[in-house]
Structure 1
Amino acid sequence: MQTSRSTRFTVAFCAMFVLSFHPSNRSVMGFEPNYDESKIPEYTLPDPLVTQSGSPVTTAEQWNTVRRPELLALFEKHVYGVSPPPCPIRRKHVSSKTVFDGLATRTEIDVLFGSADDATSMRMMVYVPKQRAGAVPAFLGLNFQGNHGVDDDPEIELNPGWFRVGRDGTTDGNKANEKSRGATASRWPLQMILKRGYAVATIYYGDIDPDFDDGFNNGIHGTLGDQVAHVAPESRWGSIAAWAYGLSRGLDCLEAETDLGIDAAKVAVLGHSRLGKTALWAGATDPRFAMVISNNSGCGGAALSRRAIGETVGRINEAFPHWFCDQFTEYNENEDACPVDQHELIALAAPRPIYVASATEDQWADPKGEFLAAAAADPVYRLLGTDGMGGDAPPAKMPAAEQPINSGVVGYHLRTGKHAVTDYDWQQYLDFADRHMKDGR
């Protein structure tokens, strides 16, 4: 039985005041997470190389023309929802400034979804190293607390939009305040990235779709929602799909802004937590992204849903009913009935490089399930002519902390620590990008 949007909005609005960004080991709304491997339900993963009709996929052509489109449609129908076709964008330059003692240029651009002057817009903040021989590769990702949270420069405007109530007094109600400046700078080590020869582009995810369930009337759902009116209501795009759609429009902007000095054919999409789920879906739906990075993305991201450890499909749909399409609620505590699982989401990025990262104290996101999903995607990568996770076969055991698997085009590491993005994570991503987005690749 499908839950109505009005009922879901009431539940989500009430839950909004009791949920933090990552509740981890706490019981939320009566939910008690399982962390005992012996209590994982028996499950069989769907084979990414067998079609829905039972036919084996044995060639790259079969994957590209039959199985990949089939899997993409299944994820649209059952998990993330169907998005509108790409809309035209308009661009308005806001500012440009040399920053970090001459290390880089920071440019701010408003990207409008459509041609109307009052179209919904998002502000993209772009850092490009000044010392470069030509166009450089880049990382594109959404941020949680506004562009002003990435960099504490007072010249960056406080985003005037809606924010989830922040920790440590970084919001006044649902509005950002001065304490939020630089609040997430540790997740964006800009100077480290720039000194390695990469550009960085970021957008506040709430510009695209504010992170609460209002029945899909705000953000780009309100702007473009009529374009999916022909889709069954239960399979229309949720917020993760909307955020991914915004990332693709951000890439449109980077392609158009040729004077920035970014090689738009070498843009890695990345994200953390719910935005890691978003990066994976963006990478699956938009093959222009040259590399995909998932940091602690968990349930609905890189972790296998069928393991039902930590956050489950039922719990995530109850707490955040707007993230996925309504059809996904059919798999609440019923994960084995879903025709897809997250290893197939990872496989949809093939043969492009992809990196999945976990943390030892982030059991809520099921690190083992994230590793197993990456390993289970390996056969697709090998079918398409790559070395997958490296070696002759994917590793049989999950690696120890700080022992990254990074020799192939599917990377993985487990980091000591909590649900976060750290310098260690970025060092692995930069090393991985050096191998796959530089030296003529």
Structure 2
Amino acid sequence: MVRTIAVVLGWILASVALTCDAEPPATPKTDILQPDLLTFRDGSRVASRDDWLRRRTELKSLIQEFEYGHLPPRPDNIAIGQQQRRTIAEVGAVEERLTLLLGTQTQLLLRIAVYRPTNVPADRQLPVIIREEHALGHLEEVPLLMERGYMFVEFAREDLAPDSADGRSIARDAYPDYDWATLAVWAWGAMRVVDYLETRTDCDLQRIGIVGHSRGGKMALLAGALDERFTLVAPNGSGCGGAGCFRVSAGKVETLELITRPERFGYWFHPRLREFADREQELPLDQHFLKALVAPRRLICTEADDDAWANPTGTRATTQAAQPVFDLLGVPENNAIHFRPGQHDLT
């Protein structure tokens, strides 16, 4: 995770497109990755920024209908329950452990940990990096973030939905009229963290990044696609159902058919996605939809050249396919991808 964070922070500070530490995998020659981002469902073309705003609405509808399910709106209230505070001198941080109370009538609990550098004034507004975890207290990346002057926020994703097919999701129980799957629940949780940050005076709301690895990367990309308050979106090794392409791959990769099996990770997705197993060409979307939805904000996908299972070739394909949207919006440099030597990890 430290290396991924360093790459992300380096890009933010440099404000330029990234080069690669490793030789990126070749992308098989194909026509424009389908469906074409700049063609409306009725066949007409996107010709302006105003057209793109309407096309965005179509894309958001499609990814929720066919892949992740529909998310409920923002809760009517967010309050703070339990709160603990301590200084962790060895990582240079003040840690706050908080329990967020989401909603009034139907109240959900979400635990978060906030880390702030000890060497900056308490009232200074800091850029924020958000990451999900199954549990709180992962301090590996905290020293670097504190050194660079960032606020770091973790949230406990499984407070809202367990990472298992047979576990009960209190979030879905609370919103029975919504068909959201587990990745959507976790992404909704990330959005609630931003709701909370909006109540603070010590964070820069114009510089909020979301980072995640593997399943966390899938969540980060989805959250960034649906919520424009994330100004930087950085999925790492997110693969199938994340930054990887359903239609384009190379080597032994995790496919739509494999990942949606009931005994594997079908619960991450809406059941409708499973209907397209081995029929990816008929799917009315692909993962370049999510990348395009991030535009014109900053998107960086970090990949490992030996992580074939996460389909880095497909990630490169979706990056290329999303580029015309970033070009249309005048920010071609905001669609970045970084390859490094190594396998499926964050080092």
TM interval, short-chain normalised: 0.7 to 0.9
SS at the partner of 1:305? coil
Code of the aligned partner of 1:269? I
What CA deviation, in whole Å up to 9, does each residue of 1:188-236 have, x standing for no partner? x11011101111000122112101123x742311122x242xxxxxxx2
Instruction: Look up the match of 2:246.
Output: 305
Q: Distance in 1 between matches of 2:221 and 2:266?
A: 19
Instruction: Report if the CA contact (8 A) 1:303-1:366 is conserved.
Output: yes
Written as runs of structure 1 = structure 2, the 5 A alignment for 1:262-341 is 262-309=203-250, 310-318=253-261, 319-341=264-286
Residues 43 and 331 of structure 1: CA distance in aligned 2, closer, same or farther (over 3 Å): farther
What CA deviation, in whole Å up to 9, does each residue of 1:314-352 have, x standing for no partner? 100001111011111111111111111111210100000
Higher strand share: 2
2:340 to 415, 423, 439: 415
Please say which of residues 367-376 and 124-133 is displaced more in the overlay. 124-133
Code of the aligned partner of 1:140? I
What CA deviation, in whole Å up to 9, does each residue of 1:98-155 have, x standing for no partner? 2225822111110122225x833111001011333620001001013x113x14xxxx
1:243 to 186, 207, 232: 186
Tell me the C-alpha RMSD between the 2 structures.
2.3
Instruction: Look up the match of 1:141.
Output: 131
1:207 to 151, 159, 168: 159
SS at the partner of 1:121? strand
Instruction: Look up the match of 2:68.
Output: 80
Code of the aligned partner of 1:326? P
1:222 to 173, 191, 199: 173
2:78 to 89, 101, 114: 89
TM-score (norm 1): 0.68
Code of the aligned partner of 1:419? H
Please say which of residues 95-104 and 307-316 is displaced more in the overlay. 95-104
Instruction: Look up the match of 2:116.
Output: 128
Offset at residue 255 of structure 1 (A): 1.0
- Structure number with larger C-alpha Rg: 1
SS at the partner of 1:57? coil
TM-score (norm 2): 0.86
Residues 192 and 334 of structure 1: CA distance in aligned 2, closer, same or farther (over 3 Å): same
Higher relative contact order (CA 8 A, sep 6+): 2
SS at the partner of 1:140? strand
Asked if residue 257 in structure 1 is aligned to residue 200 in structure 2, the reply is: yes
Code of the aligned partner of 1:135? Q
What CA deviation, in whole Å up to 9, does each residue of 1:52-77 have, x standing for no partner? 1111101111101x100001100010
Instruction: Report if the CA contact (8 A) 2:114-2:153 is conserved.
Output: yes
What CA deviation, in whole Å up to 9, does each residue of 1:154-210 have, x standing for no partner? xxxxxxxxxxxxxxxxxxxxxxxxxxxxxxx3xxx1101110111100012211210
Q: Distance in 2 between matches of 1:412 and 1:41?
A: 19
SS at the partner of 1:201? strand
Residues 102 and 313 of structure 1: CA distance in aligned 2, closer, same or farther (over 3 Å): closer
Offset at residue 38 of structure 1 (A): 11
Asked if residue 99 in structure 1 is aligned to residue 88 in structure 2, the reply is: yes
What CA deviation, in whole Å up to 9, does each residue of 1:377-428 have, x standing for no partner? 1110110111x2xxxxxxxxxxxxxxxxxxx211211111111112xxxxxx
- For structure 1, the residue ranges without an aligned partner over 5 or more in a row are 1-36, 152-184, 229-235, 389-407, 423-441
Residues 105 and 334 of structure 1: CA distance in aligned 2, closer, same or farther (over 3 Å): same
- For structure 2, the residue ranges without an aligned partner over 5 or more in a row are 1-25
Instruction: Report if the CA contact (8 A) 2:303-2:339 is conserved.
Output: yes
Code of the aligned partner of 2:279? N
Q: Distance in 1 between matches of 2:90 and 2:265?
A: 42
